[in-house]
Structure 1
Amino acid sequence: MKKIALFPGSFDPFTKGHADIVMRGLKLFDEVIIGIGTNSAKKRYFSLEMMTEKIRETFKDNENVKIISYDDLTANAAVAHGANFLLRGLRNTTDFEYENTISQVNRHLVGGLETVFLITSPELAPISSTIVRELHKYGAKVDDFLPYDID
């Protein structure tokens, strides 16, 4: 059976930390699906279309990476796209507390749906989408934090 992982997130924006998790995930899984989900609690800063294109550009040479968008529960999106694992990155203990709860709910919703956590590479741990958005909003250079160029 093919090992497929869904890497879900709002990815607003998709950072070098996210790209690192995808590339490391490919050492564990046959395919990684980057799932850009709709978070009802957040309003997007970068458009879904732009982010989809930037992520697609980033992984254009890797046929084992797919990009989807979804407006549903992550567990349902995993089932719909044949993923038997969820892939998540952890920067710190705060991330762990949040992600642990979500992983347990996802496994309750879809029995056998396992979440695999990868610890963020130390040099990328300070990067967060929230910080990048704030920097970008006020005109600061964000190129060092993203695996693609933005205007």
Structure 2
Amino acid sequence: MRVAIYPGSFDPITNGHLDIITRGSKIFDRLIVGVLVNIDKKGLFTIEERVELIKKVTKHLPNVEVICFNGLLVDLAKEYNAKVILKGLRAVSDFEYEFQMALMNSQLDPNIETLFMMTSSEYSYLSSSSVKQVAKFGGKINGLVPDEIITEVYNKIRNLGGE
């Protein structure tokens, strides 16, 4: 069975993330979306909320499982018997950071490969940070995040006073 881990903070999940998840689910028998607990970032959504939002927009993909984790990515991969870490790239600027992470993960466990997947060009400019910024100032996020979660994003921003 071909199992891959697609890690990220997904705060919130964007159409770019969903593009990678959908395409990855066609390549792998099982795709684990690992929602990262990032101690360096204060999230808009809690980890549990992010997991639920991703489950909501991937429910049509039966081989996708959504979990939260903290710790080393290679340890998560071993736990789920995944031999591949799937990473989405938007631009060359993403590559440098992700390449360093891939080399570190390879050092920690040479049996786990990192596969880079380019996002579709229509999403190459898109990030969770830009979505939050647009929503905070009342801009339209239609087309930036899955339609099913637009209301949740606006409500969260409004309830937190735009933070």
Structure 1 length-normalised TM: 0.94
Larger Rg: 2
Quick check: 2:24–2:31 contact (8 Å CA) kept in 1? yes
Larger helix fraction of residues? 2
Structure 1 unaligned regions, length at least 5: none
Which residue number in structure 2 is paired with residue 27 of structure 1?
26
- Equivalent residue of 1:88, what SS? strand
Which residue number in structure 2 is paired with residue 82 of structure 1?
81
For residue 27 of structure 1, report the CA deviation from its aligned partner.
2.4
Segments of 4+ in structure 1 off by > 4 A?
none
The percent identity for this pair of structures is 38
Q: Residue 83 of structure 1 aligns to which amino acid in structure 2?
A: A
The one-character-per-residue Cα deviations of 1:77-119 (angstroms, maximum 9, x if unpaired) are 1111221100011111110001000001011111211010111
Structure 1 Cα separation of the partners of residues 38 and 96 of structure 2: 19
Which residue number in structure 2 is paired with residue 93 of structure 1?
92
Q: Residue 77 of structure 2 aligns to which amino acid in structure 1?
A: A
Which residue number in structure 2 is paired with residue 16 of structure 1?
15
For residue 3 of structure 1, report the CA deviation from its aligned partner.
0.7
Q: Residue 9 of structure 1 aligns to which amino acid in structure 2?
A: G
For residue 143 of structure 1, report the CA deviation from its aligned partner.
2.8
RMSD across aligned positions (CA): 1.2
Quick check: 1:37–1:74 contact (8 Å CA) kept in 2? no
The one-character-per-residue Cα deviations of 1:29-54 (angstroms, maximum 9, x if unpaired) are 11111000111221111222221111
For residue 136 of structure 1, report the CA deviation from its aligned partner.
2.0
Which residue number in structure 2 is paired with residue 132 of structure 1?
131
- Shift of the 35–44 alpha-carbon distance from structure 1 to 2, 3 Å rule, reads same
Structure 2 length-normalised TM: 0.87
Structure 2 unaligned regions, length at least 5: 156-163
For residue 138 of structure 1, report the CA deviation from its aligned partner.
2.4
Structure 2 Cα separation of the partners of residues 8 and 108 of structure 1: 18
Which residue number in structure 1 is paired with residue 104 of structure 2?
105
